[in-house]
């Protein structure tokens, strides 16, 4: 019995010259197991190479050598009307050309093929399959040699009455294939031959021998690579498990004919895996191998989740089961979402347990919870969420999120209340709540809001939990009308007086006034009230339908003590005005001493020159109350201030000192020449004749403004910028030093003194410097000394030169 190597899929995409593909048409038993080579656009010649790739990452390279002159060309599977193989395996896309076809020639055709297969760069063993793509007579012989395992027939199709054996040399490394034509269109017999390449490298010899006939011949090649696939959305990645087969009745050409059977020693559930032609095949459909979706219970929020998995392990060895549970619903399997356990030989069930789960699973972004179960003999391969495993099975399941939502949200039953009365809307069964409206509702986002409906209304509450589950309930609240009360107006009464209250409400059954003090009858609609103090009366009216309404009215008791009079200011400065204000009466008479000022106004504007006591007579006409109130007003005089200047400003004196007296604080106007704006004696340096204004404030806050004029003359005359003719440096404090006096502001100075020999005995650049008669520490002798001065002054540049006498 022969075991075939089958190649599992990994999700790896690259760009190669051509694709090998599963047939999508025909009735062949192995349509989902064989990748057929697409030769479209290829020319066979010595050294010609074509690489085929499969969508699961398998790379197959075919290199040709020893090619005879007569070579076949790529062709569709339906090569001729007498061919039958296309009934089993064919393609809806006419651009796919899986056959190599040699038409209507007598010459033989020969070539050698070297076939290698790899996945992710590593060689992989494979099973090479071939079949007659045309229809051969007994004289048209296809000869095949292999350096791999002996040729075997793995499938045999016959729809004719033929009883001959089309294969010679079965179970050897050299076979001959002929007599597949059944004598009429679409009739014949066609065996499928296979040889194994255990090292991933295979050399094949192919020969079309016509034996003198002039006919067409064809052949097709492929790799048998059945896998079981998962079928979760693409974000979870792809997982593939190799499916192994054994050959039954190999080399038989009469019944029972050859066939292959699955190796069913390791799988999940009660159904062995079947070969899946594409990743999108729904293996959860009825009757296929993923039949265990009912084994996933609803998560109960306990933090632990268990799945009972039926398994089948008759391999005699330990196997390994890994389950992935995408409990955060992010569409991928994380490392923390996997659980692995060992499946012992002959085990029939295994329990996967996830722990440390949150009480509420994340709502995530996926539409539900993805599960992947992988069972295999290789622990490393079975523990990977994606990729290839050499045996066993993968089962994918997707549980819609709604299937795990068993929430039952309930609120109160339908009820009827008086309009505006509160109703507590208790809701249970969820974590978060959202009511459908805010109308009459205290808070639409809590479980127990208070509703105060004025009219009939329906509330719908939607409960949810952090897992994204939702449920709803509804309550209808009907309302009964409250009595409509028409109240008497508020009133003001005099002490000891009464007034009648009224609370008219059609359909009223009873009245209840509070407080009862001062009322003639607290249980009627119109009691007489005579309160001693201001009182607010509250009435509650009950209607015949049991609903209550409330209203109130205030009765104030007038008193003399409510009269008041005041001024907006009690103290002012001379010249200011004040506003006198009185309240509490109906008539007002104002006076000042013995003089009447105004009548029938409660507000008066006055401007007293001296401190004055104002009086107002207030009379109210309701209770005939009268009061005379006094308003004293104090008037403070303005401060008496004096403002002077120390001097005028000119060439000899560039600044002046202003003096202000007679107040507490001072503020000078900010104009050129003054910087000390709050000083009583500011220094000013005007450049033009200037008037300086000052605002003086006394201790009462009274203000007076005044000013002082400072004359300015910067025109020099001959009497200015003089130098002394002599000085006496004898330290008596008088005329001890020779220098500049009364020159005003000097911005630049060159001042030098020379003795009679022309030696400079003194120099200065500062106007405050002077010569004390010393030179090199020695007092100079009596006599005349020449001086010269060049100074830049307020009135321009001044030059002076002369002789000064030093007298000791």
Question: Among 133-147, 172-186, 218-232, which stretch is predicted with the lowest mean pLDDT?
Answer: 218-232
pTM surpassing 0.85?
A: no
The Cα–Cα gap between 205 and 147 comes to: 9
Average pLDDT estimate for 485-501: 91
Phi, psi of 295 (to 5 degrees): -85, 0
Instruction: State yes or no: pLDDT of 198 exceeds 80.
Output: yes
Instruction: State yes or no: pLDDT of 453 exceeds 90.
Output: yes
Confidence of residue 54 (pLDDT cuts 50, 70, 90): confident
Domains of the chain by range and CATH? 18-225 (no CATH), 229-404 (no CATH), 410-480 (2.60.40.10), 486-557 (2.60.40.10), 560-636 (2.60.40.10), 642-713 (2.60.40.10), 726-806 (2.60.40)
CA distances from 558 to 388, 623, 625 (A): 100, 8, 9
Contact status, residue 314 vs residue 282, Cβ threshold 8 Å? no
Confidence of residue 653 (pLDDT cuts 50, 70, 90): confident
Q: Residue 709, Cβ neighbours under 10 Å: how many?
A: 11
Q: How far is CA 277 from the centre of its chain?
A: 42
Give the pLDDT confidence score for residue 285 in this predicted structure. 46
Task: Name residues whose C-beta falls within 8 Å of residue 658's C-beta, 6 or more positions apart in sequence.
Answer: 643, 644, 645, 646, 668, 674, 681, 682, 683, 684, 692, 694, 708, 710
The Cα–Cα gap between 261 and 804 comes to: 142
Average pLDDT estimate for 172-188: 96
The Cα–Cα gap between 222 and 205 comes to: 15
The Cα–Cα gap between 718 and 794 comes to: 15
Give the pLDDT confidence score for residue 475 in this predicted structure. 96
Give the pLDDT confidence score for residue 718 in this predicted structure. 55
∠ CA 586-590-595, nearest 5°, is 150
Give the pLDDT confidence score for residue 120 in this predicted structure. 77
What is the tens place of the pLDDT at every residue in 659-698? 999 999 999 999 999 999 999 999 999 989 999 999 999 9
Instruction: State yes or no: pLDDT of 446 exceeds 70.
Output: yes
Average pLDDT estimate for 601-629: 87
Confidence of residue 751 (pLDDT cuts 50, 70, 90): very high
The Cα–Cα gap between 369 and 233 comes to: 11
Percent of the chain at pLDDT exceeding 90: 70
What is the tens place of the pLDDT at every residue in 256-294? 999 998 888 999 988 888 777 665 544 544 334 555 556
Question: Among 292-296, 553-557, 566-570, which stretch is predicted with the lowest mean pLDDT?
Answer: 292-296
Instruction: State yes or no: pLDDT of 44 exceeds 50.
Output: yes
Give the pLDDT confidence score for residue 278 in this predicted structure. 60
Percent of the chain at pLDDT exceeding 70: 95
Contact status, residue 86 vs residue 135, Cβ threshold 8 Å? no
Give the pLDDT confidence score for residue 4 in this predicted structure. 37
Residue with tokens 């229809």: 135
Q: 30 exposed, middle or buried (CB, 10 Å; 0-12, 13-18, 19+)? A: buried
The Cα–Cα gap between 511 and 525 comes to: 6
CA distances from 376 to 58, 312, 379, 488 (A): 21, 11, 7, 92
Give the pLDDT confidence score for residue 317 in this predicted structure. 96
Tokens representing 63 are 């290199």
Instruction: State yes or no: pLDDT of 102 exceeds 70.
Output: yes
Give the pLDDT confidence score for residue 286 in this predicted structure. 38
Q: Residue 284, Cβ neighbours under 10 Å: how many?
A: 16
∠ CA 564-569-571, nearest 5°, is 120
What is the tens place of the pLDDT at every residue in 394-420? 999 999 988 888 889 999 999 999 999
CA dihedral (432, 437, 440, 445) in degrees, to 10, reads 20
Task: Name residues whose C-beta falls within 8 Å of residue 260's C-beta, 6 or more positions apart in sequence.
Answer: 4, 29, 30, 154, 155, 245, 246, 247, 248
Task: Name residues whose C-beta falls within 8 Å of residue 464's C-beta, 6 or more positions apart in sequence.
Answer: 407, 430, 431, 432, 433, 434, 470
Average pLDDT estimate for 113-133: 92
Instruction: State yes or no: pLDDT of 1 exceeds 60.
Output: no
Q: What is the helix (H) or strand (E) element at residue 382, kind and residue range? A: helix 379-382
Tokens representing 584 are 């509490």
What is the tens place of the pLDDT at every residue in 303-313? 999 999 999 99
| Average pLDDT taken over every residue of the chain | 90
Give the pLDDT confidence score for residue 9 in this predicted structure. 30
Average pLDDT estimate for 565-581: 91
């Amino acid at each position: 019995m022969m075991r075939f190597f089958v190649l599992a899929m990994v999700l790896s995409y690259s760009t190669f010259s051509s694709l090998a593909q599963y047939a999508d048409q025909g009735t062949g038993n192995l349509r989902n197991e064989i990748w057929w080579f697409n030769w479209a656009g290829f020319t066979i010649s010595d050294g010609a190479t074509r690489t085929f790739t499969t969508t699961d990452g398998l790379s197959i390279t075919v290199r040709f050598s020893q090619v005879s002159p007569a070579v076949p060309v790529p062709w569709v599977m339906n090569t001729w009307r007498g061919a039958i193989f296309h009934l089993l395996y064919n393609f809806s896309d006419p651009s796919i050309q899986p056959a190599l076809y040699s038409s209507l020639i007598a010459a033989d055709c020969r070539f050698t093929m070297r076939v290698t297969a790899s996945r992710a760069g590593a060689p992989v063993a494979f099973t090479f399959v071939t079949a007659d793509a045309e229809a051969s007579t007994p004289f048209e012989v296809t000869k095949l040699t292999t350096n791999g395992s002996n040729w075997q027939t793995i499938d045999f199709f016959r729809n004719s009455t033929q009883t001959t054996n089309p294969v010679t040399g079965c179970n050897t490394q050299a076979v001959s294939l002929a007599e597949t034509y059944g004598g009429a269109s679409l009739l014949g017999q066609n065996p499928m031959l296979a040889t194994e390449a255990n090292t991933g490298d295979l050399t094949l010899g192919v020969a079309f021998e016509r034996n003198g006939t002039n006919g067409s011949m064809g052949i097709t090649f492929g790799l048998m690579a059945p896998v079981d696939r998962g079928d979760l959305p693409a974000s979870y990645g792809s997982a593939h498990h190799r499916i192994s087969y054994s050959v039954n009745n190999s080399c038989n050409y009469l019944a029972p004919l050859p066939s292959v059977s699955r190796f069913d020693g390791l799988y999940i559930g009660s159904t062995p895996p079947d070969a899946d032609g594409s990743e999108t095949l729904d293996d959860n459909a009825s009757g296929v191998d993923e039949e265990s979706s009912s084994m996933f219970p609803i998560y109960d929020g306990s933090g632990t989740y268990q799945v009972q998995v039926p398994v089948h392990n008759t391999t005699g060895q330990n196997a390994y089961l890994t389950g992935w549970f995408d409990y955060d619903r992010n569409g991928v399997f994380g490392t923390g979402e996997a659980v692995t356990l060992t499946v012992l030989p002959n085990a029939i069930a295994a329990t996967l347990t996830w722990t440390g789960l949150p009480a509420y699973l994340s709502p995530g972004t996926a539409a539900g919870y993805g599960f992947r179960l992988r069972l295999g003999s290789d622990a490393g391969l079975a523990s990977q969420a994606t990729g290839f495993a050499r045996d066993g099975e993968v089962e994918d399941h997707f549980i819609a999120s709604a299937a795990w939502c068993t929430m039952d949200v309930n609120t109160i039953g339908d009820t009827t209340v008086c309009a505006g009365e509160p109703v507590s809307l208790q809701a249970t069964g969820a974590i978060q709540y959202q009511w459908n409206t805010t109308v009459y509702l205290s808070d639409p986002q809590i479980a127990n809001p208070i509703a105060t409906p004025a009219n009939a209304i329906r509330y719908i509450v939607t409960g949810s939990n952090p897992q994204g589950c939702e449920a709803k309930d509804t309550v209808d609240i009907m309302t009964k009308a409250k009595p409509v009360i028409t109240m008497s107006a508020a009133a003001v009464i005099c002490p000891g007086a009464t007034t009648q209250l009224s609370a008219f409400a059609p359909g009223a059954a009873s009245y209840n006034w509070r407080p009862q003090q001062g009322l003639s009858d607290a249980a009627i609609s119109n009691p007489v009230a005579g309160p001693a103090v201001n009182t607010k009366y509250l009435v509650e009216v009950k209607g015949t339908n049991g609903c209550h309404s409330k209203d109130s009215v205030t009765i104030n008791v007038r008193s003399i003590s409510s009269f008041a009079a005041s001024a907006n200011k009690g103290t002012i400065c001379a010249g200011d005005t004040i506003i006198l204000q009185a309240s509490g009466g109906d008539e007002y008479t104002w006076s000042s001493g013995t003089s009447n000022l105004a009548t029938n106004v409660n507000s008066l504007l006055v401007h007293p020159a001296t401190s004055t006591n104002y009086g107002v007579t207030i009379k109210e006409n309701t209770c005939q109350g009268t009061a005379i109130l006094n308003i004293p007003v104090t008037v403070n005089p303005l401060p008496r201030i004096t403002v002077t200047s120390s001097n005028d400003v000119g060439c000899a004196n560039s600044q002046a000192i202003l003096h202000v007296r007679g107040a507490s604080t001072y503020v000078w106007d900010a104009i050129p020449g003054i910087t000390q704006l709050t000083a009583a004696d500011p220094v000013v340096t005007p450049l033009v004749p200037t008037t300086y204004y000052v605002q003086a404030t006394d201790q009462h806050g009274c203000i007076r403004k005044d000013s002082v004029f400072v004359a300015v003359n910067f025109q020099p005359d001959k009497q200015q910028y003089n130098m002394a003719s002599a000085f006496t440096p004898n330290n008596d404090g008088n005329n001890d030093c020779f220098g500049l006096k009364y020159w005003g502001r000097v911005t630049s100075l060159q001042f030098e003194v020379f003795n009679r020999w022309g030696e400079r005995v003194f120099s200065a650049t500062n106007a405050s410097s002077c010569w004390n008669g010393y030179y090199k520490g020695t007092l100079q002798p009596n006599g005349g000394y020449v001086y010269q001065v060049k100074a830049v002054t307020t009135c321009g540049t001044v030059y002076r030169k002369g002789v000064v006498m030093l007298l000791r």
